[in-house]
Amino acid sequence: MKCLYCDGDLELATDVYHLDRKGIHLTIDDMQVYKCNRCGEIMIPGEEVQALQDILRQLEDSIQREVA
Ligand SMILES: [Zn+2]
């Protein structure tokens, strides 16, 4: 896999990932990411994005339930 920005090589790595959305602050300590060995840019694999979206949806559901 190549970096979209500098054409460097992407390597699988684990990194701390922060996500902020609609008042939800999510930190994942050992997120699987692809990291560029040249510019350090981080890409998230598609299946991880899917998993994140599932987590966010569940969080939003539970928050809405508490408010209602
Ligand atoms: Zn790069």
Query: Which sequence spans correspond to the domains of the chain?
Result: 10-67
pTM of the predicted model, to two decimals? 0.66
Q: How far apart are CA 2 and CA 45, in angstroms?
A: 13
**Ligand 1: distance of its center to the CA of 62 in Å?**
38
Tell me the per-residue pLDDT of 16-65, one tens digit each, with 9 for 90 and over. 988 888 788 889 899 889 999 999 999 988 888 898 889 889 988 988 88
Give, as residue ranges, everything with CB less than 5 Å from ion ligand 1: 3, 5-6, 8, 36, 38-39, 41
Residue 1 CA: distances (Å) to CA of 30, 45, 60:
21, 11, 33
The CATH number of the structural domain formed by 10-67 is 3.10.20.860
